[in-house]
Structure 1
Amino acid sequence: MSMNVQMPQFPEPYWRELELQGFQALMEDQSFDITIVGGGIAGITTGYLLANEGMKVAIVDAGKILNGTTGHTTAKVTAQHNLIYDEFINHFGEEKTKLYYESASTAIDSIVRIIQEKQIDCDYSQEDAYIYSISDKYAEKIEKEAEAYKRLGIDGNITNSIPFDIKIKNALIMKNQGQFHPLKYLKKLVEEFIKKGGVIFENTTAIDIEEGTNPKLITRSGYKINSKYIIMTSHFPFYDKKGLYFARMYPERAYVIAVTTKTAFPGGMYISADEPTRSLRYTPYNGEKLVLVSGENHQTGQGPDTLKHYVELEKFASEVLGIESYNYRWSTQDLTTLDKLPLIGPITENHPNILTATGFRKWGMTNSMTAARLLKDLILERENPYFDLFSPSRFNTDPSLRKFISTNLDVAGHLLKGKLEFVPKDPSDLANEEGSVVMVNGKRAGAYKDEDGQLHLVDTTCTHLGCEVEWNHGDHTWDCPCHGSRFSIDGEVIEGPAKKPLNKLQ
């Protein structure tokens, strides 16, 4: 392999090349109308809409804003959420399924309207979205999905070809969808939010809530924010209050490589119905097209060496388009609810002033806008057609109950496996830049030896519910196979539901 197509050494998303304004940490007790925990697309959009309504809003982030799932997305602005509409009609009926489609379509319209009104240069382009099959099994599913499109009035049709060297059975087109640079778009929303009096606190970790008429957000530093409503848009809600969110969603990782290609990219957005998933789209890049190739989904903390997923995507890109230069690679984590519908609204029926938005599956661009509009309407006591559809208090026994049982049996299996596993490796066995589960003083531990030979040792017991974390070679993190918490080489929390870092070992 020539030098210019070597895999980048460390994961770094293309979107994060954009320079963003920094914000101070919270340094004293404060009061606001609304406090939003989580500075991704859902939190910033919600804050922007509420500030436009004259509300005094604070956004709090444990790290830097736009550095979580939003900063690692593929940023398709589409209502084609994989093969979902035939399944939803069978599970929830045509009326609720139509509501779901309308929520996504309305979200696209809202995003486009903001881009036009604020004249945001964010590489937005209207593109047709394709889902294609390479097997008879999924060709049949696509035909059923096409029937669902007709029943729901979705503008789309079946085709037998896509403009790539991929042998497909058929493909389903959804017309006039979109794509953009998410951080260019959100950078403008942040500026508008600040202009309207909004406040952002970075490096401020929320750890608890004091309930009441005016709930108080408590931070790790001991400062409090008093407000009428607290909204959790922190990907995973850090405050559960018997909502059992960790048992109602499962985390999946997916991988992205960004390359320039030898064969010109034809435009459009593409995703395979078959597994392993393959997704293609482009974004403008230095006067040419940077192609984002993504897929290789698996449950967090499970499966083979994660570096393999990047290798498989590179192989696919080479075969289909040819790689001119390999510019970026990164991975992302998404939460899927048991019935595949997001959870948006009060965390439980008894907590009307503590709200959440989570479980967007892999479609956070549209679901975030849906959530922001719904949460704004809840707070302002306005009508919204989607309150019941996305209510976190819903519980559909079909298919949720079956999935609930299988998900939690899987968790129990991994909990036991981690506790009983024999680990023959010793920290001294590690080469530089290698990580592994090892034995230290007869106990399971996590070790990473950095490029200078410095050893970073952590207790591998996840601080959420006690599962044993596994080493993620592709991203150099410790990942929990039970509920998806992720930690740095030194044990700091990267992704919830865990709130506390892994214990460091000497």
Structure 2
Amino acid sequence: MNEQKIPRESYSYWRKAAEERGLPYDKLANESLQVDVTIVGAGITGIIAAYLLSREGKKVALVESGKVINGTTGYTTAKISTQHGLMYDDLIKHHGEEKASLYYQANDEAMNFLKSLTEELGISCEFTTQPSYVYAQTDKGSDQINKEAEAYKKLNIPGELTTETELPFEVKNALKLNNQAQFHPVKFLLPLLGEIKANGGLIFEHTRVTKVSGDSPVEVLTEDGGEITSEKVIVSTHFPINDFKGLYFSRLDIERSYILAAKTDSEIPEGMYLSADQPKRSIRYTTDSNGGRMILFGGDSHKSGQGGDTTEHYENLRDFAVQHFSAKEFPYRWSAQDLTTLDQVPYIGPVTAHEKNTLVATGYAKWGMTNGTAAALLLTDYVLGRENRFKELFAPSRFNANPSVKNFIKENADVAKEFVKGKLDKHDRKLEELENGEGGVITLDGKRAGAYRNANGEVTVVDTTCTHMGCELGWNTAEKSWDCPCHGSRFSACGDVIEGPAVKPLKKIYD
């Protein structure tokens, strides 16, 4: 065990910039509004879409359940790249060369849009052009990279095979893609919020949407009595809150992954890196608040709610950082939840084939900076009635027989297993056994319950049944949250919704 200490609390370096700005927005409660477009979810997709639509003269209301940019966008690795791991070989196999090429083009356009907008608005967000690498240290990984390189040739993606990287260890080979980028996502998005306001847009925080209904117009209801009516609604909440309409809960794989920021006296490599081998390791640098450099190590993903003792994932990243980069200090750690569709291509467009005025965007498969931007560009065209050659590729109503059927069966079998497992799981732990700052599943009056004892010894006990579809929640030690192993809903230690698809808090037994 290494002696270097990992921070006790999860805290994203990106989010620090938002908190230093201190830009609170109003809460919508007991008020009715009418706008042209309602956008639910203030991450990269929602904010860029709101900016573009407000610029076109649309009256926009941007609604966020918590704080703006405090979802997955605020907890990303913030790589801007069309190199999405080893993806294009699979896309060709399952979708054909034409659609695989369209996927590349959509993300390439998104990457160029981010660069152009940064320059146009003079946004200071540490945007730097970098090469991107997928590297292998095993024969199996090397073979996969060779296949991916062949896919690049078929799609005219300008990659190159190499054995040379700036990593402090040897690789068998790597696939390099030049002219990719990285940035500070919060510093990029904060100025866009100002532009939205200047264009007459409305922004609401701490306003949880509980229902989206109707089609012309669409009505959005909030938990505190707010009501917004508009001709179009964009649901960019990561996991669609209106997921029953398109059965999205059955068509998305949900994983949690981890990031550890480290400082070292060793040389920090240029470029962005992702391993082809397991366990996945993501590497990039960023500039810290004092102008120095930190390395961000990411990986150790697992199905949400099924990660065991989640502190071990940070420890695994720490061990990797110390072993290969002589890391000696870890100022930040955070984690994120990511969704992947049945066929790896995001769902972007009408929530169902028959409801054209409610639009969704989800399933970015850990590449939200480009996929999320591509979604904003496409959704803007949907709202404005413009043609877009990517509509069919991303249409949420699609269902490709290969590999969708296999993955549909696999994902829903896993959900069923976790549902039954949670109902049968017995816990003999007692409330009095919890120490300060500790949470877990306990038995209370002969029934399963979830308890958390805070640093002052005060106890909250909640019903551990997820309010989305009734699965039993597990305790996330590292993040101090209740996580659903079925569909990824997360709740605070006190039962408040952190992220959906659940929209209702847990029932409190007592606090």
Question: What range describes the TM-score normalised by the shorter chain of this pair?
Answer: over 0.9
User: Hey, what's the Cα distance between the residues in 1 that align with 2:142 and 2:286?
Assistant: 29
TM-superposed CA distance for 1:165, in Å, is 2.8
User: Hey, what's the Cα distance between the residues in 1 that align with 2:477 and 2:216?
Assistant: 46
Q: Say which of 162, 165, 168 aligns to 2:165.
A: 162
User: Hey, what's the Cα distance between the residues in 1 that align with 2:485 and 2:2?
Assistant: 36
Q: Contact 2:215/2:356 (CA < 8 Å) preserved in 1?
A: no
Determine whether 1:318 maps to 2:318: no
User: Hey, what's the Cα distance between the residues in 2 that align with 1:242 and 1:215?
Assistant: 14
2:375 aligns with: 371
**Structure 1 stretch displaced more, 407-416 or 212-221:** 212-221
1:294 aligns with: 298
**Structure 1 stretch displaced more, 100-109 or 152-161:** 152-161
Q: Contact 2:322/2:328 (CA < 8 Å) preserved in 1?
A: no
Determine whether 1:33 maps to 2:36: yes
**Residue 343 of structure 2 aligns to which amino acid in structure 1?**
D
2:451 aligns with: 447
Q: Deviations over 1:136-166 (max 9, x none)?
A: 1111010000011111111111111322233
Q: Say which of 371, 396, 399 aligns to 1:395.
A: 399
Q: Say which of 130, 138, 141 aligns to 1:138.
A: 141
TM-superposed CA distance for 1:288, in Å, is 1.4
2:361 aligns with: 357
User: Hey, what's the Cα distance between the residues in 1 that align with 2:195 and 2:57?
Assistant: 13
Q: Say which of 180, 190, 196 aligns to 1:177.
A: 180
TM-superposed CA distance for 1:251, in Å, is 0.9
Q: SS of 1:369's equivalent?
A: helix
2:425 aligns with: 421
User: Hey, what's the Cα distance between the residues in 2 that align with 1:248 and 1:173?
Assistant: 32
Determine whether 1:44 maps to 2:42: no
- TM-score normalised by structure 1 residue count: 0.98
**Structure 1 stretch displaced more, 120-129 or 320-329:** 320-329
Unaligned runs of 5+ in 2: none
User: Hey, what's the Cα distance between the residues in 2 that align with 1:185 and 1:426?
Assistant: 47
Q: Deviations over 1:58-87 (max 9, x none)?
A: 100111110010110110000011100000
**Structure 1 stretch displaced more, 99-108 or 444-453:** 444-453
Q: Say which of 198, 202, 209 aligns to 1:195.
A: 198
Determine whether 1:404 maps to 2:403: no
Q: Say which of 150, 154, 162 aligns to 2:153.
A: 150
User: Hey, what's the Cα distance between the residues in 2 that align with 1:422 and 1:355?
Assistant: 41
2:26 aligns with: 24
User: Hey, what's the Cα distance between the residues in 1 that align with 2:312 and 2:213?
Assistant: 45
Q: Contact 2:220/2:229 (CA < 8 Å) preserved in 1?
A: yes
Q: Deviations over 1:9-43 (max 9, x none)?
A: 10000011112411001131111000000011110
- Structure 1 residues 131 and 2: alpha-carbon distance in aligned structure 2, compared to 1, 3 A threshold: closer
Determine whether 1:71 maps to 2:70: no
User: Hey, what's the Cα distance between the residues in 1 that align with 2:301 and 2:8?
Assistant: 21
Q: Say which of 329, 334, 337 aligns to 2:333.
A: 329
Q: Deviations over 1:80-128 (max 9, x none)?
A: 1110000000100000000000001100110000001001110000000
Determine whether 1:121 maps to 2:124: yes
TM-superposed CA distance for 1:284, in Å, is 1.3
Determine whether 1:10 maps to 2:6: no
Q: Deviations over 1:259-278 (max 9, x none)?
A: 11121212100000111110
Q: SS of 2:245's equivalent?
A: coil
User: Hey, what's the Cα distance between the residues in 1 that align with 2:215 and 2:180?
Assistant: 43
**Residue 346 of structure 2 aligns to which amino acid in structure 1?**
P
User: Hey, what's the Cα distance between the residues in 1 that align with 2:60 and 2:105?
Assistant: 28
Q: SS of 1:329's equivalent?
A: strand
1:208 aligns with: 211
- Structure 1 residues 454 and 51: alpha-carbon distance in aligned structure 2, compared to 1, 3 A threshold: same
**Structure 1 stretch displaced more, 208-217 or 483-492:** 208-217
Determine whether 1:276 maps to 2:279: yes
User: Hey, what's the Cα distance between the residues in 1 that align with 2:225 and 2:262?
Assistant: 45
User: Hey, what's the Cα distance between the residues in 1 that align with 2:146 and 2:281?
Assistant: 20
TM-superposed CA distance for 1:133, in Å, is 1.1
TM-superposed CA distance for 1:241, in Å, is 4.6
Following superposition, which runs of at least 4 residues in structure 1 exceed 4 angstroms of deviation? Answer: none
**Structure 1 stretch displaced more, 415-424 or 385-394:** 415-424
User: Hey, what's the Cα distance between the residues in 2 that align with 1:110 and 1:65?
Assistant: 21
User: Hey, what's the Cα distance between the residues in 2 that align with 1:210 and 1:294?
Assistant: 38
User: Hey, what's the Cα distance between the residues in 2 that align with 1:164 and 1:239?
Assistant: 44
TM-superposed CA distance for 1:2, in Å, is 9.4
User: Hey, what's the Cα distance between the residues in 2 that align with 1:413 and 1:73?
Assistant: 30
Q: Deviations over 1:44-63 (max 9, x none)?
A: 00000111111110100111
Q: Deviations over 1:219-247 (max 9, x none)?
A: 11122101110110011111135310000
1:56 aligns with: 59
TM-superposed CA distance for 1:352, in Å, is 0.5
User: Hey, what's the Cα distance between the residues in 1 that align with 2:213 and 2:309?
Assistant: 42
Count of aligned pairs between the two proteins: 505
Q: SS of 1:225's equivalent?
A: strand
**Structure 1 stretch displaced more, 70-79 or 158-167:** 158-167
User: Hey, what's the Cα distance between the residues in 2 that align with 1:198 and 1:431?
Assistant: 47
**Structure 1 stretch displaced more, 159-168 or 225-234:** 159-168
Q: Say which of 435, 456, 462 aligns to 1:431.
A: 435
- Structure 1 residues 130 and 36: alpha-carbon distance in aligned structure 2, compared to 1, 3 A threshold: same
Q: Contact 2:215/2:355 (CA < 8 Å) preserved in 1?
A: no
Q: Say which of 470, 474, 477 aligns to 1:470.
A: 474
User: Hey, what's the Cα distance between the residues in 2 that align with 1:303 and 1:184?
Assistant: 31
**Residue 178 of structure 1 aligns to which amino acid in structure 2?**
A
User: Hey, what's the Cα distance between the residues in 2 that align with 1:303 and 1:190?
Assistant: 35
- TM-score normalised by structure 2 residue count: 0.97
**Residue 471 of structure 2 aligns to which amino acid in structure 1?**
C
Q: Contact 1:241/1:347 (CA < 8 Å) preserved in 2?
A: no
User: Hey, what's the Cα distance between the residues in 2 that align with 1:359 and 1:35?
Assistant: 21
Q: Deviations over 1:416-473 (max 9, x none)?
A: 1111112111111111111111100111111111111111211111111111100101
Unaligned runs of 5+ in 1: none
2:265 aligns with: 262
Q: SS of 2:174's equivalent?
A: strand
Q: SS of 1:242's equivalent?
A: helix
Q: Contact 2:490/2:498 (CA < 8 Å) preserved in 1?
A: yes
Q: Deviations over 1:275-299 (max 9, x none)?
A: 1110100111222111100100100
Q: Contact 2:126/2:184 (CA < 8 Å) preserved in 1?
A: yes
**Residue 74 of structure 1 aligns to which amino acid in structure 2?**
T
Q: Say which of 98, 101, 106 aligns to 1:98.
A: 101
User: Hey, what's the Cα distance between the residues in 1 that align with 2:177 and 2:449?
Assistant: 49
